[in-house]
Structure 1
Amino acid sequence: MKSPDRSEPDTAVAAVASRPAVRPLSRSNRLDSPILPADLSDEDVVARWLAAKATGRGRLATTTLAQYRTEAERLFWYARQVNTPISAWGLDEFSAYIGFLHAPAPWAIRKPGVRRGSPDWRPFLGPLTDRSAGQTQKIVTSLFDWLRDVGYLQLNPATGLPTVGRGDPAKQARFLSPDDTALLREAIAGRPAANSSREARLAMARDLFAVDLFERTGLRTTEVVQCRMGHVRIEPVTQALKREFPDAPPVQWLLRVERGKGGKARWVPCGEIALSLQAYRIAFGLPPVPLPDEDLPLLLSVRRSRWGELRGIRSRTAIWKLVTRLCSETLAYARAHGRRVDADRFERASTHWLRHTYAKGLAQAVRDGLDASAALENMGHRDLRTFRQYVDDEPLKRALATQLARARAPR
């Protein structure tokens, strides 16, 4: 029985009049692939594309793969609504889909509370932003590229279309300032010492290290989950490097990220966390310097296993909750001590905000002479455009610098 307050039909079929018009196709773009089994459906082939993306050394990270699955789900849902399989799409059909992402019809919007599996479920909560639509277009275009490359399609229907949302990204405002992170450390170190348990002491050491880890290496949360203590290396500085960097210390601390975004490995400088790491390890009863084959995760739980072994924090969600809880604790600490802080920033901050904090420091280092390619490598970025969002993201600071410079200029 239809509820009286519903304004849309129960099924998508009944709303076909409001859907994008699709002209009959005179020919199909589909071919018989020489490397795929015969008689596969479009869904079967795309499932193989997703499986390929999850396989091998360059496989996608779990979160990225989830986004690819979401885009495939949206794509097939739309193709069913317009009654045109993706293997029959041409330029017009692909363009109509991209336009649909920006302005989906009312029948395509999911109502709050509707669960997956319900006949009323839809893959859209509303129109996508330019940036999100651009990401969708990028992923779907790569899918059609793969379908063409494996001989399933003759041509990519997205060929030649400009990508939406390709403007320079907005300046990044989601970061914590040095004063903010100093307050984080102060709040952790200022926890009540009276009757503190062993777990409380371990939590303090671990939490201080966690702030250092994210702020001073810029790792992504997924990368922290995957890193092990044994990925830390202490490398001696060679005589050749000492001639190039005469003030260099005798050794450098490096952290190996085995699989960053896009499956890319990299070495990240981590000398800034060396003291914090050693103090943290000592608190947990470990030698100050990790062994090369040490398999313990970087972030440890304060509770041991039932057999008394140290355990790591092995999920993105758990690490995210740890850092957001530290931010909430810091906000409460600041209010209790009459400190003026931007409460909204601490309420919204997360692990990625600390990554952005690190990136801002790198942006300043680039202005001071660090090679931009080194900054990109440290961050695990491929495109300089992505890194530019961290440069000059404080308009008030820029305004003051401009005013001072103009005041000093001769008239």
Structure 2
Amino acid sequence: MPETTRGQGSRIAAGSDVEAVGQWLTEYRASLQTQRAYRREAERLLLWLAEQGLGLAGVRRDHLVAFEAFLADPRPRERWIGPPRPRHAEEWRPFRGPLAPASRRQSLVILQGMFAWLAEAGWVAHNPFRLMRDKRRRLDNRQGGIERYLERPLWAWFWAWLNRELNRPAEEGASPRQRFEHRRRRLVFGFAYLLAPRIGEMSAAYMGDFQRREGRWWWRVTGKGNKTAVIPVPPDMAALLTEWRVGLGLAPEPLPDDATPLLRALDGRRGLGDNRLYRLIRDAFREAADTLEAEQGEGGRPWAMRLRAATPHWLRHTALTHQAQAGVELRYLAATARHSRLDTTARYLHAEDEAWHHQQSLHRLGADADRDEPV
């Protein structure tokens, strides 16, 4: 990878762009999930720059435009795009597919912050993002309402499908492994829908994180920014937890000091990592999409396409959107989401959209029976 020549103004002990970026990433060591996300975006940029024969110090504004276009369509596909694989595997690729507009914005927001830090550290002479006249519009990540979620009818169908799949093994004499996998899948999606966790929070959850106080269940979670919160657990989640534990041969309720994983591998003891959990959720969405299309034909194709596009983070969006639609107050919704800003949570409120759509439906072609005759 091309290296840039450092002048006397560098304020960090780094000998290469990779080392400089590594020092920036250490600033996020308190939040491993954030650090992983930032590392991914920085790595994509460094790999792309290497293909152009560039280092960080040589990045100009026009390079940023070209890089954003690349994020939308990484080519050649065989070089950049592939299924999830361990980072050290030969088949590993930086992308799962082209990035959607929101993901491209997020990538540029992260990289803008990285360049600001590197400029302050004296590693690069300037931050090229500051030359973008439309920077605020392009990089403002506070966009409109959330759209990447499953609508209520689609979620209802999906949850019914999960339960149908759970009951089918018993009818067909399935193996213990198959029954275990179906119970785990139901817990995963129920957990995601009822408590709106991030995927890293799900994989890191322990049994003892669920505790009963004065007859009510609570979930203790340490999430983004290493912040800890205690979230009310609805009855349906408490029931799922009990069913899961009994299926594992455990007592119905966990003890407060139970530090064993909530979500487990096939041996029933080891925890699930982020990558395995991600694949489990995506596989379920794809299976459901195939079933939906097989059952409903062309009529089910739009919903099937939504399911195939869905990622684990859609479950968090789905949970918060449906809570908002059910009338959960904004302050409680923000507490469940663990957002620091109410305007972030407000993106899940679709009441204005529904009211607007209703009002617009009053505007009709032709004369209505109740209208006065034209004069």
Letter aligned with residue 65 of structure 2: G
Q: Provide the C-alpha distance between the structure 2 equivalents of 1:217 and 1:397, rounded to a whole number of angstroms.
A: 27
* Aligned counterpart, 1:247: none
Matching of residue 266 in structure 1 with residue 219 in structure 2: no
Once the two structures are TM-superposed, the CA of residue 284 in structure 1 deviates from its matched residue by 1.0
| Aligned-partner SS, 1:257 | strand
Matching of residue 70 in structure 1 with residue 38 in structure 2: no
Matching of residue 278 in structure 1 with residue 242 in structure 2: yes
Q: Which moved more, 1:209-218 or 1:144-153?
A: 144-153
Q: Provide the C-alpha distance between the structure 2 equivalents of 1:109 and 1:369, rounded to a whole number of angstroms.
A: 41
**Structure-2 change in CA distance of 1:100 and 1:228 (3 Å):** same
Q: Provide the C-alpha distance between the structure 1 equivalents of 2:280 and 2:352, rounded to a whole number of angstroms.
A: 28
Structure 2 contact 145–349 (Cα < 8 Å) conserved: no
Letter aligned with residue 114 of structure 2: L
Structure 1 contact 232–256 (Cα < 8 Å) conserved: yes
Once the two structures are TM-superposed, the CA of residue 358 in structure 1 deviates from its matched residue by 0.3
Matching of residue 222 in structure 1 with residue 187 in structure 2: no
Letter aligned with residue 149 of structure 2: R
Once the two structures are TM-superposed, the CA of residue 289 in structure 1 deviates from its matched residue by 1.4
| Aligned-partner SS, 1:60 | helix
Matching of residue 353 in structure 1 with residue 314 in structure 2: yes
**Structure-2 change in CA distance of 1:173 and 1:55 (3 Å):** closer
Once the two structures are TM-superposed, the CA of residue 320 in structure 1 deviates from its matched residue by 2.9
Over residues 227-254 of structure 1, what are the superposed CA-to-partner deviations in whole Å (9 max), with x where a residue is unaligned? 1112222233xxxxxxxxxxxxxx3322
Over residues 273-294 of structure 1, what are the superposed CA-to-partner deviations in whole Å (9 max), with x where a residue is unaligned? 0011111101111111112222
* Aligned counterpart, 1:399: 357
**Structure-2 change in CA distance of 1:234 and 1:30 (3 Å):** farther
Matching of residue 137 in structure 1 with residue 108 in structure 2: yes
* Aligned counterpart, 2:258: 294
Matching of residue 110 in structure 1 with residue 75 in structure 2: yes
Over residues 153-212 of structure 1, what are the superposed CA-to-partner deviations in whole Å (9 max), with x where a residue is unaligned? 565454474242537246414315242244234323431424344334433432322221
Q: Provide the C-alpha distance between the structure 1 equivalents of 2:124 and 2:251, rounded to a whole number of angstroms.
A: 58
Structure 2 contact 208–258 (Cα < 8 Å) conserved: yes
Letter aligned with residue 343 of structure 1: A
Once the two structures are TM-superposed, the CA of residue 31 in structure 1 deviates from its matched residue by 4.6
Structure 1 contact 71–139 (Cα < 8 Å) conserved: no
Over residues 256-302 of structure 1, what are the superposed CA-to-partner deviations in whole Å (9 max), with x where a residue is unaligned? 22233x4444333322400111111011111111122222222123x
Q: Provide the C-alpha distance between the structure 2 equivalents of 1:48 and 1:203, rounded to a whole number of angstroms.
A: 41
Q: Provide the C-alpha distance between the structure 2 equivalents of 1:136 and 1:128, rounded to a whole number of angstroms.
A: 9
The 5 A counterparts of 1:114-129 are 114=79
* Aligned counterpart, 2:177: 199
Identity %: 22
Letter aligned with residue 212 of structure 2: I
Matching of residue 362 in structure 1 with residue 323 in structure 2: yes
Over residues 78-108 of structure 1, what are the superposed CA-to-partner deviations in whole Å (9 max), with x where a residue is unaligned? 5x34xxx544x6xxx642232223456xxx9
Over residues 339-385 of structure 1, what are the superposed CA-to-partner deviations in whole Å (9 max), with x where a residue is unaligned? 975333344444333222201123225xx36134x323322444555
Number of aligned residues: 341
**Structure-2 change in CA distance of 1:401 and 1:196 (3 Å):** farther
TM-score by length of 1: 0.66
**Structure-2 change in CA distance of 1:256 and 1:96 (3 Å):** same
Structure 1 contact 229–298 (Cα < 8 Å) conserved: yes
* Aligned counterpart, 1:55: 29
TM-score by length of 2: 0.72
Once the two structures are TM-superposed, the CA of residue 43 in structure 1 deviates from its matched residue by 4.2
**Structure-2 change in CA distance of 1:230 and 1:125 (3 Å):** closer
Q: Choose between structure 1 and 2 for higher RCO, CA contacts under 8 A separated by at least 6 residues.
A: 1
Q: Provide the C-alpha distance between the structure 2 equivalents of 1:326 and 1:154, rounded to a whole number of angstroms.
A: 48
Q: Which runs of 5+ in 1 are unaligned?
A: 1-27, 117-121, 237-250, 305-309
Q: Provide the C-alpha distance between the structure 2 equivalents of 1:128 and 1:327, rounded to a whole number of angstroms.
A: 19
Structure 1 contact 223–257 (Cα < 8 Å) conserved: yes
Q: Provide the C-alpha distance between the structure 1 equivalents of 2:96 and 2:162, rounded to a whole number of angstroms.
A: 39
Letter aligned with residue 390 of structure 1: Y
| Aligned-partner SS, 2:348 | coil
Matching of residue 318 in structure 1 with residue 281 in structure 2: no
Q: Provide the C-alpha distance between the structure 2 equivalents of 1:267 and 1:127, rounded to a whole number of angstroms.
A: 37
Q: Provide the C-alpha distance between the structure 2 equivalents of 1:126 and 1:323, rounded to a whole number of angstroms.
A: 17
Once the two structures are TM-superposed, the CA of residue 317 in structure 1 deviates from its matched residue by 3.1
* Aligned counterpart, 1:190: 167
Structure 1 contact 227–297 (Cα < 8 Å) conserved: yes
Q: Provide the C-alpha distance between the structure 2 equivalents of 1:157 and 1:228, rounded to a whole number of angstroms.
A: 44
Q: Which runs of 5+ in 2 are unaligned?
A: 82-92
Q: Provide the C-alpha distance between the structure 1 equivalents of 2:185 and 2:241, rounded to a whole number of angstroms.
A: 11
Once the two structures are TM-superposed, the CA of residue 333 in structure 1 deviates from its matched residue by 5.9
**Structure-2 change in CA distance of 1:60 and 1:333 (3 Å):** closer
Structure 1 contact 171–389 (Cα < 8 Å) conserved: yes
